[in-house]
Structure 1
Amino acid sequence: MTEEEARAWLAARNVPRGTLDRLAQFADLVRREGANQNLISASTMDQMWARHIVDSAQLLDSAGEGDWLDLGSGAGFPGLVIALVGERPITLVESRAKRIAFLRQAVDVLGVANRVAVFGGRAEILPDRKYGVITARAFAPLPRLLAIAHRFSTPKTTWVLPKGRSAALELEEVAGSWQGSFGIVPSVTDSEAAIIVARDVRPGRS
């Protein structure tokens, strides 16, 4: 997907002009912060709309209802994009101090503090609470991710997990140890990448 195609994808979904402006503002924040810390790969800076913004926004198409939990939020992908495009309440979980500071600054600048909470710390110490949607981008391999995050889910929770080219392999790794309704959705930004979508996730029978 090119940058032009990414903008066309958002336009086809009738994303409001004001939201597009805030997405552009967010992209500028990420670029500027790149001088202080490596938020995203330098090689993708010129592909911000395709590789990061649309790659995040597409997760809304597979998500169910309810508040959103984003583990390992990093630069705010997908969490802050979801908050902007989907106007969804979301908790961003990040353990690295510089990135926590960036996320909190971005939340304030973008004016989304009314629906975005930033938890600074490891997911393992996040207080118990149930969420309608759980996502994680480059957070952990699927077996570890499910083990860490299962306590935040219910049988109705939708797990929307961008996994690049490793989706099928990671699903094989949890076969037997985890049960539920697991599926793979192709990514709109990369023909070789995929998203794992799951519901009713629960530990397998020993």
Structure 2
Amino acid sequence: MVDNGFSNGLNVSRETLEKLEIYLATLKKWNPRINLVSKTTISEAWNRHFVDSLQIFDLASTTFGWESWCDFGSGGGFPGLVVAIAASDRKQHTQVTLIESDQRKCTFLREVARACDVAVTIKNVRIEEVPALGSCVVSGRALASLTKLLEFSEKHRDPDGICLFHKGQSVHKELEEALQNWKLDYKLHPSLTDDGASIVEIGAFQRGK
């Protein structure tokens, strides 16, 4: 088994690691054809994509009890499909929904889910077209501005749920812009994979200053 320090600081089972190795092998096979992630990050995929995804699963698990999770613009499955694998191996009865408008990427997601024997719901539509999901947790990575993510979340998150969004060095600027039109109860969690990045956790929010 290849670990590469992957489990350091994270609660990752041996079964999860084995499934993620299958995931990585499938990613390497498919990526040249449909560009699921940047080619420059493949060699660092454990840290750049898998640990980066698992850290928000651990964050949600320690701060919030949840039964449903919605991932916006899932792309190559980060973080949503990694969350589904980790939740399954911890015997959490969780409904994970992946929303991705690109049909080819949805085909990849289904292939990984099949190979890893994990149950997920994959919706091959635009986020705006999905009926309200009422999810306990919503996530999004490398997808849109914080303001846009809040618009999506307003429809799809349960009022008592949380949002967990990966953000890079622009996080403070995006927060400043969002606060011009939204009232937010938020926290910033330092990323485990990038010194300049953060996970934005949002509790209560509503339109207006």
Superposition misfits of 4+ residues, deviation over 4 angstroms: none
Select the residue among 51, 55, 59 that pairs with 2:52: 55
Query: Separation in 1 of the partners of 2:158 and 2:22?
Result: 35
Matched, 1:150 2:148: no
Q: Is the 8 A contact 2:153 2:163 kept in 1?
A: no
Partners of 2:172 and 2:117 lie apart in 1 by 38
Deviations along 1:139-160, one digit per CA (max 9) or x if unpaired, are 1111111112211123311100
1:27 maps to 24
Instruction: Note if contact 2:185-2:202 (Cα within 8 Å) is conserved in structure 1.
Output: yes
Structure 1, unmatched stretches of 5+, are: none
**Conserved 8 A contact 1:164-1:192:** yes
2:129 corresponds to which letter in structure 1?
I
Structure 1 partner of 2:126: 122
1:127 partner amino acid? P
**TM-score under structure 1 length normalisation:** 0.91
**C-alpha contact (below 8 Å) 1:167/1:184 kept by paired residues:** no
Taking only the aligned residue pairs, the percentage that are identical comes to 34
Deviation at 1:8, TM superposition (A): 2.7
SS in 1 for 2:202: strand
For 1:59 and 1:136, the matched residues in 2 are separated by: 11
Number of residues of Structure 1 aligned to a counterpart in Structure 2? 198
2:36 corresponds, among 33, 36, 39, to 39
Distance between the aligned counterparts of 2:24 and 2:95, measured in 1? 20
- Contact kept in structure 2, 1:65 and 1:133, CA below 8 Å: no
TM-score after normalising by structure 2: 0.89
- How many Å separate the matches in 2 of 1:75 and 1:6? 19
Cα separation, 2, equivalents of 1:32 and 1:111: 19
2:170 is aligned, of 166, 177, 188, to: 166
The residue type paired with residue 33 of structure 2 is N
C-alpha separation in 2, matches of 1:148 and 1:120: 16
Deviation at 1:34, TM superposition (A): 1.3
Q: Deviations over 1:133-187 (max 9, x none)?
A: 0000011111111112211123311100001111111110111311131121110
Equivalence map 1:77-116=2 (5 Å): 77-87=78-88, 88-113=94-119, 116=120
CA–CA distance in structure 2, aligned partners of residues 60 and 80 of structure 1: 11
Deviations along 1:10-51, one digit per CA (max 9) or x if unpaired, are 4xx2x2211110011101111100131111111111101100
* 1:7–1:49 contact (8 Å) kept in structure 2: no
CA RMSD of aligned residues (A): 1.5
Secondary structure (helix, strand or coil) at the match of 1:58 reads helix
Question: 2: CA distance between counterparts of 1:30 and 1:198?
Answer: 30
